[in-house]
Amino acid sequence: MFEIPADLPPEAVPLAWLLGVWEGQGVVSYSQPAGDRVTEFEFGQRVAFTNDGLPALNYNAFFWRLDEALTPLTSEMGYWRLAHPAGADVPGPGLLDGTAPEEGDRGLDAEGVAALRTEDGLPLEVSVVHPDGVDELYVGALQGARITLATDAVLRSRHARPYESASRMYGLVERQLLWSWDLGAFGNPLTSHASATLRKVSGPGTTVR
């Protein structure tokens, strides 16, 4: 049975099923615009979702090729949070402090989280930073154990390769985390890019065998 950590902020509770470390493998299959080049290979992935007491989950992922050398491929890091206007009690920007309620709480309580729900689910914002000079801001929705995301903005350094948009889907199926990632790059529209299946190896809800 899955247990929600007692000290988890209310805003992170709907995402609590992601907490822990996940490992598995997937496949990349991506066609270049003219269709004259298709990139295909298998990869391994390790993902960690953690919480440090703030109303968001910390995200860290590492990818490697499933070749003989297990060649490092790339990594990602970022934050997953419910999307809503920041109240005066929320810290920031920078290290500026917010005006906290007398009871010391910051952000939304359980009733405030429930009030965010629409027919599409709970609204999400996900920021992802890549080591190749690309930052992504995704917006989307959480419905139970299913997440859909699409880029609202992609920031690239002048040295980064062409990359315009992306969408991602995540779902918990029979205790496995399944995800897919579509990419719009090199002049391509959104095109199937990668997918993987991961199992939780540590953290809340881990099955010890």
Q: Which range of residues forms the domain containing residue 28?
A: 10-200
Domain-embedded: residue 15: yes
Does a structural domain hold residue 208? no
Q: 3-class DSSP state for residue 43?
A: strand
The torsion angles phi and psi of 99, rounded to 5 degrees, stand at -95, 100
Q: How many domains does the chain have?
A: 1
Residue 5 included in any domain: no
pLDDT digits (tens, 9 = 90+) for 80-97: 999 998 777 777 788 887
With respect to residue 130, please indicate whether it lies within any of the assigned structural domains.
yes
With left for phi above 0 and alpha for psi between -120 and 50, is residue 152 left, alpha or beta?
A: alpha
What CA–CA distance (Å, rounded) separates 120 from 107?
A: 22
Say if CB 167 and CB 186 are below 8 A apart. Answer: no
**Predicted local distance difference test score (pLDDT) of residue 206:** 63
Picking from 185, 207, 200, the residue whose alpha carbon sits closest to that of residue 28 is 185
State the pLDDT confidence band at 138, using cuts at 50, 70 and 90.
very high
CA distance 57 to 21: 13
Question: Does the pLDDT of residue 58 top 80, yes or no?
Answer: yes
3-state secondary structure of 115: helix
Domain membership of residue 163 (yes or no) is: yes
* Structural domain includes residue 98: yes
Q: What is the CATH number of the domain that holds 195?
A: 2.40.128.20
Convert the pLDDT of each residue in 11-22 to its tens digit: 999 999 999 999
In-domain check, residue 187:
yes
Residue 122 above 60 pLDDT? yes
User: Is 4 among the domain residues?
Assistant: no
